[in-house]
Amino acid sequence: MSITLPTSHRTGATSAAASGQVGPAPWDLLGAPPHSPVRARLAEQVFRHAVRDLPVRVALAGGERLGAGAADAPLMRILDPAAFFQRLGADSKIGFGESYMAGEWVSPEPADLLTPFAERLPTLVPKPLQSLRRWVDAPKPGNERNTTTGSQRNVERHYDLSNDVFAAFLDDTMTYSAALFTPGTTGLADAQRAKMDRVLDLAGVGAGTRLLEIGTGWGALAIRAAERGAQVTTLTLSTEQRELAQRRIAEAGLTERVDVQLRDYRHAAGSYDAIVSVEMIEAVGSEYWSGYFTALDRLLAPGGRIGLQAITMPHDRMLASRRSHTWIHKYIFPGGEIPSLHAIEQTVREHTGLRGTERHSFGPDYATTLRTWRDTFRRRWNDIAGQGFSERFQRMWEFYLAYSEAGFRAGYLDVWQLGFRKAQVT
């Protein structure tokens, strides 16, 4: 998973200096929601319709209560209804999260609140209004396409924030993807090692394996593979991650076994016995999925194996939402696109000679991982704030982690480990 933002979230930093943007960054514009009374009234009607049967409690300033939840149901307090509905009217997919960032609504436990919304996401908006999606939803910005230069920009927005921020809430392995809580695992770091071991097993990684990793992170999986005796080449587009990964690899005494390259997967060369890629496909973009899997096929030696970990969503929801610009794109994951399992397998089948071998889903474990990250983020917030990050940054990250947790709890999102093999030359 990839979620970071430019250093302009730090108090006193300018967005242009920190991220190359011209003019104020989006989080600096929250104080002036667009005013459209007609759209605000329509948004309020849709929201009231959406929550009337949900098992939640919605308390509006002034005393009005909405929702069908009992006294112990998740609670949403809308402190500034006018601003909240203005944001929803301007762009519901972005405005809902922006309103939380601005403090216009709060919840004692946002993941519990958002889970019922996620469970009924396809039907929250009445069908007659769903046909208006193409006029209401903003399209994805063209400058976030995952071209070779676009991917570099998007990754910089993801990862070149601050290694110290990630270190504050990740476990000691510095692993930023779903953990696998198998029987006997004790704690998040142990579950992360279990995840790494299973994806390495899918790829058949052992002593002497020539391994290519696409998406280095902070080097944990490369270290784990090298400890098995593999010779690892690992690719990243993040200078911040590369620097820390190289330092961690050196501290583990594995520099001779791991080569960390600042390189796009499209420019990779060589032949490898195995390839692993953990939650990197979400940053590829659908228009490049065929090229991504073609590259894997090209780089994999005959008889070689692949271990892939991917976040997925239902195929029909992927098709319905793939062109929309969302809060996640705007603030967290520019250029991101979550595939469906069907889309992955169809792309592999149509564009490569690879064949599937195994597949395992563990979506509930991702919900647990996200809850652990969010609890740690809250507990360590003073340390993060000490680096100069604002309360708005705090609310943004809490909303993101809670929103994602709700998606996995509801089953709207899932995560899979997939194995593929390339045929031997006969």
Domain ranges for the chain: 31-136, 143-421
Question: Smallest Cα–Cα separation from 371: which of 345, 404, 346?
Answer: 404
Residue pair 286/337 in contact (Cβ under 8 Å)? The answer is: yes
Per-residue pLDDT of the chain (426 residues; tens, 9 = 90+): 533 333 345 544 333 333 333 344 443 344 444 567 888 999 999 999 999 999 999 999 999 999 999 999 999 999 999 999 999 998 888 999 999 999 999 999 999 999 999 999 877 765 655 555 555 566 677 777 777 777 767 765 645 567 899 999 999 999 999 999 999 899 999 999 999 999 999 999 999 999 999 999 999 999 999 999 999 999 999 998 999 999 999 999 999 999 999 999 999 999 999 999 999 999 999 999 999 999 999 999 999 999 999 999 999 999 988 888 899 999 998 889 999 999 999 999 999 999 999 999 999 999 999 999 999 999 999 999 999 999 999 999 999 999 999 999 999 999 999 999 999 987
Signed CA dihedral, 103, 109, 112, 113: sign only: negative
Helix (H) and strand (E) counts in the chain: 19, 11
Identify the three-state secondary structure at position 61: coil
Helix axes 363-379, 188-202, angle to 10 degrees: 140
Q: What are phi and psi of 351, to 5 degrees?
A: -120, 0
Predicted local distance difference test score (pLDDT) of residue 424: 92
Q: Strand runs (DSSP E) across 272-391, as ranges?
A: 272-278, 300-312, 355-361
Q: Which of 159, 148, 286, 267 is nearest to 214 (CA)?
A: 267
Instruction: Report the topology of domain 143-421.
Output: Rossmann fold (3.40.50)
- By residue count, the chain amounts to 426
pLDDT in the model for residue 121: 83
What value does the mean pLDDT of the chain take? 88
User: What's the pLDDT score for residue 151?
Assistant: 76
Nearest alpha-carbon partner for 264 in 142, 349, 153, 347: 153
Q: Where are the beta strands (DSSP E) in 35-109?
A: 57-60, 65-66, 75-78, 105-106
Rg (CA), the chain: 22
| β-sheet bridge partners, residue 416 | 310, 361
User: 1 near 176, Cβ under 8 Å?
Assistant: yes
